[in-house]
Amino acid sequence: MSATDSLVAPGPDPDDKAIEAALRPKNLDDFVGQKRVREQLSLVLEASRLRGRSADHVLLSGPPGLGKTTLSMIIAAEMNAPLRISSGPAIQHAGDLAAILSSLTEGEVLFLDEIHRMSRPAEEMLYMAMEDFRVDIIVGKGAGATAIPLELPPFTLVGATTRAGLLPGPLRDRFGFTGHLEFYSTDELELVLRRSAMLMDMKVNSAGFAEVAGRSRGTPRIANRLLRRVRDWALVHGIEQIDARSAGAALDMYEVDALGLDRLDRAVLTALITKFNGGPVGLSTLAIAVGEEPETVETVAEPYLVREGLLGRTPRGRIATRAAWEHLGLQMPENVAAAMPQNMFSGPGTNTSSAAADESAPET
Ligand SMILES: Nc1ncnc2c1ncn2[C@@H]1O[C@H](COP(=O)(O)OP(=O)(O)OP(=O)(O)O)[C@@H](O)[C@H]1O
Ligand SMILES: [Mg+2]
């Protein structure tokens, strides 16, 4: 298995696509978690139903696998409206967008995935379409070119992006509602898994769900994927009811550990600790030590390690936190602990920076 087709990669793999369609909740009530976004969105939709108008344009942002595509489908379903799906990369010319916009029917929901990857001219056409439900179609070239205005029926644009920061301000401002999706808690993931297990006709007890949820990196897509692997394992081992032990054993076999780290994640931490005494060490040196490209280490392994408070990025290089040592079952030596930047001293949520500020010992 290469580093990028890991079981805990947040993006969809080919195998996910078919099954994801089957597991997608179809209405807001079945959509687990994201309470704030769900409540706000439900208000937006209800208000538009009461006014008898198409809903405000909606922007959904957040990391891969948290439910942006799912929510866009739910919006269309809740509005009882047809859904048209396209994406930023598919719209390279303004003409591509014009073709889509001019064929929309009244009230239709247009979902543009990866909206931050649309071309500039298309983006500018979209501004006018969103605001005035109108586009100018340019006919001809050069001096003879003329703009033919075209009225559009009212529609609702749902844009999705994993990189809200890359959206130009004028585009962001034209959305009536922006929902930012957050990583899910383990409790929420358990609910996602319960629902999926029911649809997949699997028997799993509460501890079994908790075990899978804990390894799913806060991401429903990963949770569903791990659940399928557990199902395979249970089938082969002739296990009817899955508990924490069987779920754990299955996922251990697929090299997804109790925190949801995969082989590469653990290799990075292990190298950092055993070869460099916990760091700091430069990215490229660390990458060589695990036999990967620096970019793979930086974009595939590091984000989650940093999020979990296992790895720190400092101006002098990467360091393993105390939580990382403990996760590998090792004790952080006192001199290493003393040399750590104070805000990297402990795991997530226990930042001790101010309290211990002047206790820093010299490096040894
Ligand atoms: N809140 C949720 N409740 C239940 N299942 C969910 C939820 N969010 C996501 N899922 C499940 O996770 C899978 C991935 O979700 P989705 O495709 O909507 O993610 P996404 O945010 O669009 O990801 P990407 O950025 O990669 O396009 C779906 O198949 C769906 O079954
Ligand atoms: Mg999506």
The answer to whether residues 335 and 293 touch, using CB atoms and an 8 Å cutoff, is: no
Residues tagged active-site: 68-69, 113, 162, 221
Q: For the residues of 237-248, what is the DSSP string, one character each?
A: TT-SEE-HHHHH
Q: Per-residue confidence of the chain (364 residues) as pLDDT tens digits?
A: 444 578 999 988 877 778 888 899 999 999 999 999 999 999 999 999 999 999 999 999 999 999 999 999 999 999 999 999 999 999 989 999 999 999 999 999 999 999 999 999 999 999 999 999 999 988 888 888 888 899 999 999 999 999 988 899 999 999 999 999 999 999 999 999 999 999 999 999 999 999 999 999 999 999 999 999 999 999 999 999 999 999 999 999 999 999 999 999 999 999 999 999 998 999 999 999 999 999 999 999 999 999 999 999 999 999 999 999 999 999 999 999 988 877 654 445 443 333 333 333 343 3
Q: Is 263-359 in the same CATH topology as 186-253?
A: no
- Which numbered atom of ligand 1 lies nearest the CA of 11? 26
Report how far residue 242's alpha carbon sits from residue 253's, in angstroms, rounded to the nearest whole number.
15
Report how far residue 242's alpha carbon sits from residue 207's, in angstroms, rounded to the nearest whole number.
9
* CATH number of 263-359, picked from 1.10.260.40, 1.10.10.10, 2.40.110.20, 3.40.630.10: 1.10.10.10
Q: What is the pLDDT of residue 349?
A: 44
The residues placing their C-beta within 5 Å of ligand 2, an ion, are 68-69
Q: Which amino acid is at 137?
A: I
* CATH number of 186-253, picked from 3.30.70.980, 1.10.1060.10, 3.40.50.620, 1.10.8.60: 1.10.8.60
The answer to whether residues 273 and 328 touch, using CB atoms and an 8 Å cutoff, is: yes
**What CATH architecture is 34-180?**
3-Layer(aba) Sandwich (3.40)
Domains of the chain by residue range: 34-180, 186-253, 263-359
If DSSP codes are grouped into helix, strand and coil, which group holds residue 299?
helix
Report how far residue 84's alpha carbon sits from residue 45's, in angstroms, rounded to the nearest whole number.
18
Mutate to test the pocket of ligand 1, among 221, 224, 228 (most ligand atoms within 8 A of CB): 221
Q: What is the pLDDT of residue 4?
A: 52
Q: What is the pLDDT of residue 344?
A: 56
Residue spans of beta strands (DSSP E) within 12-131: 58-61, 83-87, 109-113
The alpha carbon of 289 and the centre of ligand 2 are apart by a number of angstroms equal to 34
Q: Are strands 109-113 and 203-204 parallel, antiparallel or unpaired?
A: unpaired
pTM of the model: 0.88
- Lookup: tokens for 26: 């179809």
Q: How far apart are the first and last CA of the chain?
A: 39
